[in-house]
Structure 1
Amino acid sequence: MWQGNSLSMFRFFQVIRCMAAVAWEPRKPLSIEEVDVAPPKAHEVRIKVVASGVCHTDWEYLYEAGRGMSLRPFPVVLGHEAAGVVESVGPDVTKFAPGDKVIPLFLPFCEECDQCKCEKTNLCKKNWENTQAGVLADGTSRISCRGQQVYQFLGVSSFCQYTVVPDTSLAKINPKAPLEKVCLLGCGVSTGYGAAVKTGKVEEGSCCAVFGLGAVGLAAVMGCQAAKARRIIAVDINPDKFQKAREFGATECINPRDYGNKPIQEILVEKTNGGVDYALECVGSPVTMSAALESTRDGCGTCVIAGWTETESMSVKVIKILMGRTLKGTYFGGWKSAKDVPQLVEDYMQKKLKLDEFISHNLPLAQINNAFDLLRNGQSIRTVISLDDF
């Protein structure tokens, strides 16, 4: 029999009515709607979402669904980079209790599968196919609106005041952590930082190039600095991002458009006398991915792909691999989500990791479409949405 205090037991049976930003169809603005969030089922946790970052993947899915992104079902509540407080737990949940501060995760950590037990990967596949399809373990979503099911983006849906996630896709964090800051560790910052220090294993004294200076790219720059790279070259076509890149540790910045039609990889090879030791691609463009690989040096260059795209292919010249380069991909920065995220929170609390500096805007849920506009126009690094403003 499920054990819990009387308040949790009461909540367990209740549907919560709250506000959410619903995407009814692709390439249309989000609609602020009243939704119903059902109670958690076995091995599920319902959380009150306090803050959510607006990630480029959210924008990509809404506006590029069926193009660069795989088409998932609509209507859907987007959002996957968040922090909140446990409101209630379902049967058989043993690691969480009401009141816990948590970060929901689009990548699970079940601790039982071969992937979780292997130190070489973080790709736990617990409920993977279901969450990619926008539903939980039983094949349904816990969110509904106007009498119909609303799908949960990557099994999270943080643009909703309450959501339900599997207990394997949740990290319990320091109760003193500011949720409006550490929410960024649910995706972008963890991905970029981990691409450098976890997947790429950038070495002290090395030369690095980071392609793309959004939140993921800036976090990669921060990771290269933490690894004590000697030279960190930040590459972006928007020079307005260069000052921020320098604040995160870039030693120099390059705008490819300043060099006419000359390929950026040729520029980098010339500037570094043979190529960089590490190239981190944080754009999600196959063209940029190829350029990043070709910017690395013969024999020992490493290219890490952190930018996200699902349906496109990159071009790889075989000779570039034969000459000793390493090409790697990274998902969530290589971190074993629920295991590693609490430590990343601690690193932030101990001022070993920057988060505040990523936040360019704070907006209420009612203005979420403005946040998407800022992102699309390159005017924001991360906008944090407050879910407490209704």
Structure 2
Amino acid sequence: QVIKCKAAVLWELNTPFSVEEVEVAPPKANEVRIKIVATGICRSDDHVINGKIVAPLPMVLGHEAAGIVESVGEGVTTVKPGTEFTLRGCALVHDLKQTRPGTLRSLGTFQQLLLSPFLHFLNTQVTQGSTCAVFGLGGVGLSVVMGCKAAGAARIIAVDVNKGKFAKAKELGATECINPQDYEKPIHEVIMEMTDGGVDFSFEVIGRLDTLMAALLCCHVACGTSVVVGVPPDSQTLSMNPLMLLTGRTWKGGIFGGFKSKESVPKLVADFMAKKFSLDALITNVLPFEKINEGFDLLR
């Protein structure tokens, strides 16, 4: 049956969300309908609000959430109503133009109930004893630091222009923290010198073209891997010399950390419940759904 619930709808650029009632359709084949328990606020959502990422409006945003399966569509056999569920991925948004009037088929997590297909991703593995560089120390960047530590990285170099983030980064596993503004030479050259030739793995978790290139260039020329995590603004392209890859570097994307969600997320939850790591440092504020606009003010 169709269910009514609240959703935060973005009707126009650079305006607050409108919290209003929408109708959510029942799940079709290979879909699940999920009751959202909590959702995170991400800079990618703000890029849509201010127009840096072009998307059709109106829209329900949001892509980092945990919830409980309410109902399942035909063909879904691996979860059932009552199963706990997580959603992650910056592509999880959907415009409302084709659903008004009528029922909503939306993947945005800024609503109390949503529909989702199953998503799967390949894995990116940091090796034991490796050297890593993490560009950007927001919530996702700090999570990358934690992941590198959990994987057994020997050195984790955290890079950010905000020195106020360094203490938390070190608390979560960073071995060194550097600010590009403290150096006269490009930051990739600084890291190359620090690591005697470059890091094994770098992660760009900002979404800027200059830091994407710096993250690639700080990798070892013969065997380094640079992972793109940050979401750059729409309509921007990066010009690069193929020689940067010819000698052996790898450049790849890593949305969702490269995890296959259905298999990997339950293991993460089990590890968290076993106190193998803490997420407390990543949570800065907790707000009720109706204060979503206040949440974005805090983000900015």
Question: In angstroms, what is the RMSD of aligned CA positions?
Answer: 2.7
Distance 1:43 1:36 in 2: 20
TM-score (norm 1): 0.69
* Offset, 1:337: 2.3
SS where residue 57 of structure 1 aligns?
helix
Distance 1:318 1:250 in 2: 31
Higher relative contact order (Cα pairs below 8 Å, separated by 6+ residues)? 1
Structure 1 runs not aligned, ≥5 long? 1-12, 108-127, 171-190, 377-390
Q: Which amino acid aligns with 2:85?
A: V
> TM-score by structure 2 length?
0.88
Say if 1:73 and 1:151, in contact at 8 Å, map to a contact too: no
Query: What whole-Å deviation, never above 9, does each CA across 1:51-103 have from its counterpart, x for those lacking one?
Result: 11112221122223xx4x2x332111111111112223334443333322222
Q: Residues 183-332 of structure 1: matches in 2 within 5 Å?
A: 198-199=123-124, 201-259=125-183, 261-309=184-232, 310-332=234-256
Q: How does 1:144-155 map to 2 (within 5 A)?
A: 147=101, 152=106
Distance 1:291 1:60 in 2: 22
Partner of 1:35: 22
Q: 1:354/1:140 Cα in 2 relative to 1: closer, same or farther (>3 Å)?
A: farther
8 Å contact from structure 1 (residues 106, 169) kept in 2: no
For residues 47 and 335 of structure 1, the distance between their equivalents in structure 2, rounded to whole angstroms, comes to: 21
State the alpha-carbon separation in 1 of the partners of residues 75 and 227 from structure 2: 39
Q: Is the 8 A contact 1:279 1:303 kept in 2?
A: yes
**CA pair 247-41 structure 1, distance change in 2 beyond 3 A:** same
Equivalent residues in 2 for 1:69-80 (5 A)?
69=53, 71-80=54-63
- Is the alpha carbon distance of 1:232 and 1:94 closer, same or farther for their aligned partners in structure 2, counting shifts above 3 Å? closer
**1:292-324 CA distance string (max 9 Å, x none):** 111123322222222122532223233332333
Distance 1:326 1:291, change over 3 A: same
Asked if the contact 1:304–1:330 (Cα under 8 Å) also holds between the matched residues in 2, the reply is: yes
143, 160, 163: which one aligns with 2:111: 160
How far is 1:235 from its partner? 0.3
Q: Distance in 2 between matches of 1:220 and 1:268?
A: 18
Task: Check the 8 A contact 1:232/1:250 in 2, yes or no.
Answer: yes
- DSSP 3-state at the match of 1:360: coil
Measured in 1, the distance between the counterparts of 2:224 and 2:89 equals: 31
Question: Which stretch of the first structure deviates more once superposed, 313-322 or 220-229?
Answer: 313-322
Residue aligned with 1:362, SS: coil
